[in-house]
Amino acid sequence: MAAALVGLSIRLAWLQVKEGDQLQARARAIQTQQVRPIGKRRQIIDRQGTLVALDEERFTLWAHPRYFNFPGDDPTAIRGALDVAEKLSEVMALPASDLTRTMGSQRSGIKLATDLDAETAERIRNLGISGLDLEAFPQRIYPQGQLFANVVGFLNLDRVAQAGLEQSRDKEMWRQESPRSMKRGGDGTPLPSGLQAGVLYTDDLRLQLTLDTRLQQVAYQALTRQLKEWKAKRGVAMVMDVRNGEMLALASAPTYNPNRFWDFSPALFREWSVQDLYEPGSTFKPINLAIALQEKAIKPSDKINDSGSLMIGGWPIFNHDRRANGVIDFPTILQVSSNVAMVQTMRQVKPVVFWQWLEKIGIDTVPDTDLPGAVAGQLKSRQQFTSQPIEPATAAFGQGFSLTPLKLLQLHGMLANDGKLVSPHITRGLRSGDALAGAAGPGEGIQLLDPAVTRQVMGWMETVVEESSGDGVKVAGYRIGGKTGTAQKALNGVYIPGARICSFVASLPIDDPRYVVLVVVDEPQGGNAYGSTVAMPAAKQIIESLLVIEKVPPSKPKVRG
């Protein structure tokens, strides 16, 4: 016994002294589990906290028949593939014969199913079958479907961002995750001694949009209804807070479902309202009148002779209805949308000064925005604009240069914002937990026009709504200004016969301007397709919903002079 005790003591000392470090390292390796991050992305929410994009955990089920064993079985027993298939069949709602056929005669590494939801995965886990392995992976889900696809974009099946904010802000969308090492007991319980400080930190940041799901839904439905009725190619509806540039809605149609992007043409993956150019036509006339007033080339009380037609540099210019309106004032010019009167008005501004203003307001500059893919408009060179009389003449009624719908929205926002140009944007930044950014105050901007000038033009735009036939966009108790536009569509510098772009822009409420609404419809069909018939009805529905959603109080009565 003494010899045995001496031998055990020597062995114990050998294990503790000679092999202690090595054995301790082996024990730690067995007890410690390395948990690697699966690469989750941050959520995207709207201005009210409604989920727009999120990662959901999905699972792939792997089978290893060489290890099949049921709870309570002898540890050395190996179950057959059919036994396991029958158990799985009840949980997965799949025929056992199909599962058995998939496993075949392979001994390991068989993919039985993918894209399993968390509930199904938990039921499989509860079966306790050895030889089944559930591999977790994240899948990007877009709960609102097609509603925000045009601005949010999507991830492909390899989780690579392909469009929209998902692509332009890709680096910001990945959560900060690091591998975790923790010790576990024999039953798998995490041991506190194995956790490092901060290892359980959870990145809960979310990207908050300025867009409102409720208004986005209204805008999309109103727009698609008009596109269907007029068999139009495409359209966009936009709403912006003129004080800070926050966009409350940006709906495009046709669009796509980002959850099934493979079913749609890649041409739909881009937001055309910030990437494609068009000639704004009559919706630009209020901006030109503001330029003329700012330059003191005209006075608010002036009147212009509209003869119905003009010849400029050998080119004829007509009103849209080919009618002469006689001597009219500026509110009437906007009401009847007189091209001839606009040309006569802008003739009072020197061509070089007119061109400088078009450049100053950023026609040929990329808008300062967080919308992906925004492009600059096109403006004729200074030399061409000043040497060819037809250029300032066509620019007077919104043709001969081009911009994006986003830029036009920004410029009308400038008129409504006392001449201050702010940057349109659709994000409020990253927010933590349940915190949401509140309504932003007036944003920083560039003061380009005298507030007295813009208020005068806004008053003229109000008369357009007041004097319009029918209801137009009139809403009882609210003062609204607006302007229609029906422009010819050009391709490679040549106007396409019969092709039109119809639009309508509204600012409200006139007594305290807060919002601009713009609807643009590309290539509506039919002889009666105009801004007033195609775009205005959609704008009316959007305005009515906007007033309710934003709780806009009724306007103060207009003071009659």
Residues 6+ positions from 268 with CB-CB distance below 8 Å: 254, 255, 256
Residues 6+ positions from 236 with CB-CB distance below 8 Å: 223, 250, 251, 252, 253, 272, 273, 405, 518, 519, 520
For the chain, give the number of residues. 561
Q: What tokens does 242 get?
A: 């003129």
Omega within 30 of 0 (cis) for the link into 300: no
Question: 490-493: long-range contacts at Cβ-Cβ below 8 A with a sequence spacing of 24 or more?
Answer: 490/279, 490/402
| CA–CA separation, 37 and 278 (whole Å) | 47
**Half-sphere exposure for 393 (CA within 13 Å, toward CB):** 17
Omega within 30 of 0 (cis) for the link into 553: no
| CA–CA separation, 389 and 351 (whole Å) | 8
CA 142, 147, 150: angle at the middle one, nearest 5?
A: 90
Indicate which residues carry an active-site annotation: 282
Distance, first Cα to last Cα, the chain:
121
CB-CB contact of 519 with 503 (8 Å): yes
Helix (H, G, I), strand (E, B) or coil at 511: coil
| CA–CA separation, 519 and 237 (whole Å) | 4
184 forms beta bridges with 190
Neighbours of 104 (CB within 10 A): 10
Backbone angles phi, psi at 225, to 5 degrees: -65, -45
**Half-sphere exposure for 352 (CA within 13 Å, toward CB):** 2
